[in-house]
Amino acid sequence: MAEELKIGVVSCSGEDCLGGTISRLATRKMLDEVRPDQTVTICLPLYIAGGQEERMFAKEYPTIAVDGCSKACAKRATEKYSGKVNSVVFVSDIIGDELAEGPALSTRNLTAEHAAMVEKVAAVVTQQFDEILSKILK
Amino acid sequence: MLAKSKVKVMACSGMGKVYGLMAREAVLQTVTHLCPEQADTTCLAYIVTGDDAATAKIVDQPCITIDGCPAMCSAKSVEEMGGDIKAKFKVLDVMRLHKGAKPGTATELTEEGWAIVDEIAAKLCAEVAQIQSEGR
């Protein structure tokens, strides 16, 4: 049964700050490498541009919001249009406010330091992911 | 004389598809390197929250949208929140000029993908210049 369960990981768009870039990459890491068979995502603006199906996202899947900064757009937009999230990961809590609020980064300019930030955030998302999964399976 | 408003260049969030990542990267290239004095961007997720402070950034402001897929999230969201859309771009339209190209994945672009991103960014920047020169 565990293989059939899917968990939503929703990143902010991340255009305003480095935290957003890291949020996006950590979410992609969940989809590509960490839990590829159990992670689903949605482009946040689809809550507006899409239809009822997109707005069912957080009702259909336990959802983790990954936010790059304290505006918490992924959490707030998901809860406004779709449903309550199960958990929120703030990149700024993990890499620090000063770094997270720096300018948004092109993936063309990623460094080893940025990759390490992505690893750290993905590790926290994975921890939340597994906690949610274990609660569901209890 | 009043300074002209910067044109807001808005990408879709682009989490799920390579074309979305290309839209995002083209916007970053435009607003940080090609025409930073004439254009800037705002996080679409922030706009989507509908916060007054967020929508105030685009209401009645000249905007260009660029979308990675037919859902047109950027165009629809900016329109819904009151942005004055002057032009809409689609990555798919550019990709039709590059049949068989392999731009990469939603996580990472190839050299070919980056070259197309630069081409899109040049188009965005030209549109920004035209909007400003015409006072649109």
Q: How confident is the model at residue B93 (pLDDT cuts 50, 70, 90)?
A: very high
Q: How confident is the model at residue B124 (pLDDT cuts 50, 70, 90)?
A: very high
Query: In degrees rounded to 5, what are phi and psi of residue A67?
Result: -115, 135
Using CB atoms, pick whichever of B25, B71, B80 lies closest to residue A106. Answer: B25
Q: Where are the domains of chain B?
A: 7-130
Residue among B13, B126, B6 nearest B62 (CA): B6
CA B63 to centroid of chain Cα atoms: 9
Using CB atoms, pick whichever of B16, B24, B76 lies closest to residue A48. Answer: B76
Residue B1 has what pLDDT?
Answer: 46
Q: How confident is the model at residue A50 (pLDDT cuts 50, 70, 90)?
A: confident
| Joined tokens for residue A80 | 């406004």
Summarize the confidence of residues A21-43 as an average pLDDT: 96
Indicate yes or no: CB of B32 within 8 angstroms of CB of A103.
yes
Give, as one character, the DSSP assignment of residue A35: S
Does this complex have an ipTM over 0.90?
A: yes
Residue B34 has what pLDDT?
Answer: 97
How many domains, in total, are found in chain A? 1
Indicate yes or no: CB of B80 within 8 angstroms of CB of A50.
no
For residue range B54-79, what is the model confidence (pLDDT) as tens digits?
A: 899 999 999 999 999 999 999 999 99
Residue A82 has what pLDDT?
Answer: 95
Mean pLDDT of chain B: 94
Q: Which fold has domain B7-130?
A: Rossmann fold (3.40.50)
Of the residues B73, B78, B116, B120, the best mutation for testing chain A's interface (the one with the most A CB atoms within 10 Å of its CB) is B73
Let me know how long chain B is: 136
Give, as one character, the DSSP assignment of residue A109: G
Residues of A with CB under 8 A from a CB of B: 11-16, 20, 24-25, 27-29, 32, 41-50, 71, 73-74, 76-77, 80, 103-104, 106-108
Residue B115 has what pLDDT?
Answer: 98
Give the closest-approach CA distance of B45 to chain A in angstroms.
5
Mean pLDDT of chain A: 93
Domain containing residue A10: CATH number:
3.40.50
Written as one letter, the residue type at B38 is: Q
Q: pLDDT at residue A4 above 60?
A: yes
| H helix or E strand, kind and range, residue B40 | strand B39-40
Residues of B in contact with A106 (CB under 8 A): 25, 28-29, 32
Q: pLDDT at residue A2 above 60?
A: no
Using CB atoms, pick whichever of B24, B50, B71 lies closest to residue A50. Answer: B71
Structural domain containing residue A62: 2-137
Q: pLDDT at residue B3 above 70?
A: no
The answer to whether residue B92 neighbours chain A at the CB level (below 8 Å) is no
Helix axes A112-137, A18-29, angle to 10 degrees: 50
For residue range A84-136, what is the model confidence (pLDDT) as tens digits?
A: 999 999 999 999 999 999 999 999 999 999 999 999 999 999 999 999 999 98
Residues of B in contact with A47 (CB under 8 A): 48
Give the closest-approach CA distance of A136 to chain B in angstroms.
26
